[in-house]
């Protein structure tokens, strides 16, 4: 199972990273203060559906997505585009991401930054804050209830927003117990990597009012955007569609229905 493989590799990598860069180092960096941009508010910034645009080089299911990958340039493009937040993929072994992309992108944009990774340890939460992330992704499918609760509490204590990701009713029930105020519905099954955008339609009715909702994966057209807008979704997270586009600004305009 690919998810289990990714998590096991992440745990193994964390062991060496903790030796190289102790947690106390990141705690000291955080004490110096870090600018906070309000990720949640950005997703509720107007009447239209918000876009979280992703900086993403590769994936285990698709391989290399963007050959001429330059995170700084992509950040500059997103800054000038009609997107409300930026997701930076930092997982190295399967997605060819890097944690250094967070400060790189943050220096060229005024928009809030989400660290997208497989976060399984509080070390990664402190690291995200120290690197300049404004929010983190917590994937319910790869966390126990205790882990989910502990990581949520740590993130809140560091004033990080949390996008809590679910794929089915059981995961949603677990997420709601954490009192998460941003729920991401992943249209991709992380066990099979199959995508069905109607997974958002299936789960949104179970999410209480007042919680910001994000649809993730499989959004590639204006029709998809309209479908999700009509469901009442607050935001969409789009990666591969933008990374494969000949023109990122042009694709954003197309998704917005402006061309």
Active site residue 171: no
Contact 133, 102 (CB under 8 A): yes
Beta bridge partners of 64: 58
Active site residue 87: no
Active site residue 10: no
Contact 69, 57 (CB under 8 A): yes
Contact 56, 216 (CB under 8 A): no
Taking Cα atoms as reference points, which of 178, 198, 180, 174 lies closest to residue 188? 198
| Tokens found for residue 239 | 């990666």
Residues 6+ apart with CB under 8 A from 69: 57
| Tokens found for residue 94 | 């399967």
Q: What angle do CA 93, 98, 99 make, to 5 degrees?
A: 125
Q: Which of 91, 165, 171, 240 is catalytic?
A: 165
- Residues 202 and 83: their CA atoms lie apart, in Å, by 26
Q: Which of 186, 199, 215, 220 is catalytic?
A: 186
Q: Of all helices (H) and strands (E), which one includes residue 213?
A: strand 212-216
Taking Cα atoms as reference points, which of 241, 175, 242 lies closest to residue 213? 175
The count of other CB atoms within 10 Å of the CB of residue 100 is 12
Active site residue 216: yes
Q: Which of 10, 50, 56, 81 is catalytic?
A: 56
Active site residue 186: yes
Active site residue 187: no
Q: Which of 129, 216, 220, 251 is catalytic?
A: 216
Active site residue 116: yes
Q: Which of 57, 66, 111, 116 is catalytic?
A: 116
Beta bridge partners of 116: 89
Catalytic residues: 54, 56, 116, 165, 186, 216-217
């Amino acid at each position: 199972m690919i998810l289990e493989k990714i998590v096991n590799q992440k745990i193994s990598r964390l062991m060496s990273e903790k030796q190289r860069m102790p947690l106390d180092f990141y705690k000291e960096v955080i004490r110096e203060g870090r600018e906070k941009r309000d990720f949640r508010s950005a997703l509720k910034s107007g009447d239209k559906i918000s876009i979280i645009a992703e900086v993403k080089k590769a994936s285990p299911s698709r391989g290399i997505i963007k050959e001429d990958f330059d995170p700084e340039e992509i950040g500059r493009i997103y800054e000038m585009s009609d997107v409300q937040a930026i997701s930076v993929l930092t997982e190295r072994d399967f997605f060819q991401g890097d944690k250094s992309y967070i400060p790189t992108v943050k220096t060229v944009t005024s928009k809030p930054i989400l660290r997208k990774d497989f976060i399984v340890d509080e070390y990664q939460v402190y690291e995200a804050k120290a690197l300049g992330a404004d929010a983190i992704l917590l994937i319910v499918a790869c966390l126990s209830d205790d882990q989910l609760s502990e990581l949520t509490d740590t993130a809140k204590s560091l004033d990080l927003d949390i996008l809590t990701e679910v794929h089915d009713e059981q995961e949603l029930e677990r997420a709601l117990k954490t009192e998460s105020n941003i729920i991401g519905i992943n249209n991709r099954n992380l066990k099979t990597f199959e995508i069905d955008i109607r997974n958002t339609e299936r789960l949104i009715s179970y999410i209480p009012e007042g919680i910001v909702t994000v649809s993730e994966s499989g959004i590639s057209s204006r029709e998809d955007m309209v479908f999700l807008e009509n469901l009442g979704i607050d935001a969409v997270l789009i990666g591969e569609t933008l990374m494969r586009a000949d023109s990122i600004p042009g694709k954003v305009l197309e998704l917005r229905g402006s061309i």
